Amino acid sequence: MIALLYALISAFIVSLIGLAVFFALYLQDKFLKKTLIYLVSFSAGGLMGGAFFHLLPESLEQVPNPLVVFIFLLVGFCAFFILEKFLRWHHCHNKECHSHAHLGYLNLIGDSVHNLIDGIIIASTYVVSIPLGIVTTISIISHEIPQELGDFGVLLYSGMTKKKAMLYNFMVALLAVVGVFIGYFLTIYIHGITGFLIPAAAGGFIYIAATDLIPELQEEINAKSSVKHFGVFILALVFMYFVKILGE
């Protein structure tokens, strides 16, 4: 029950990120755009570090056959690919990237699935250990901020009012709490399932970082800015590594 309590608190904190975008609206556009790209850089590094320093090593300790771990890693990667392909789930960080009203609702559908998965991942890792759950929550939050800012921009661009967009975004974000209950009872009643859920989650983290976030960083052609972005990416990797070391 302690694991469930920690997971619920973590999921609620992740859900509150949806409200954070409301305050971002009051920032000047120029400042927001400059800050956002560094959030994207840190997010990419945080997700990669979470996958390679925490989730995969934990999976290899739980599952005797390493091949099974990497199979489920690919399952997670492919699952996120399918979600993005068929639900047009895009982690967009610029509201001009979508131009049709219906994409706002498609974005909400994709984000709903995403938040449910986040909750399941949070719960399953807390059942394994409290430190692993905390690291997983940090990884999710690191990409949640730029994603929520982008999603909010998509909703506004699709024609929603600021109030309606914020309400829908927060309601969808709360599905992470629902995912916690699903993930917790799955891990309790299906013995050993965390050994398969965790590498699948790692595959999802790698997919988001490699296909959504890093390509956006690659669009920067200014050498000085590129170095800064890469520096923040490495900083996030180092941060996740030291979290791993301190947790042992």
| Residue 129 placed within a domain | yes
- Average pLDDT of the chain to the nearest whole number: 79
Its domain, for residue 216, covers 2-7+36-247
Q: What is d(CA 179, CA 26) in angstroms, rounded to the nearest whole number?
A: 31
Q: How many domains does the chain have?
A: 1
| Residue 27 placed within a domain | no
Residues 6+ apart with CB under 8 A from 156: 95, 162, 165
Token pair for residue 60? 């290899």
Does the predicted TM-score (pTM) go above 0.85?
A: no
Q: What is d(CA 119, CA 219) in angstroms, rounded to the nearest whole number?
A: 32
Neighbours of 186 (CB within 10 A): 16
* pLDDT 10s digits, 186-229: 888 887 777 788 888 888 888 888 887 788 788 777 788 888 88
Residues 6+ apart with CB under 8 A from 62: 128, 192, 194, 195, 198
| Residue 13 placed within a domain | no
* pLDDT 10s digits, 106-135: 667 767 777 888 888 899 889 888 888 988
> Taking 90 as the threshold, does the pLDDT of residue 178 lie above it?
yes
* pLDDT 10s digits, 38-94: 877 887 888 888 889 888 988 888 888 999 999 999 998 998 888 777 755 444 444
Residues 6+ apart with CB under 8 A from 189: none
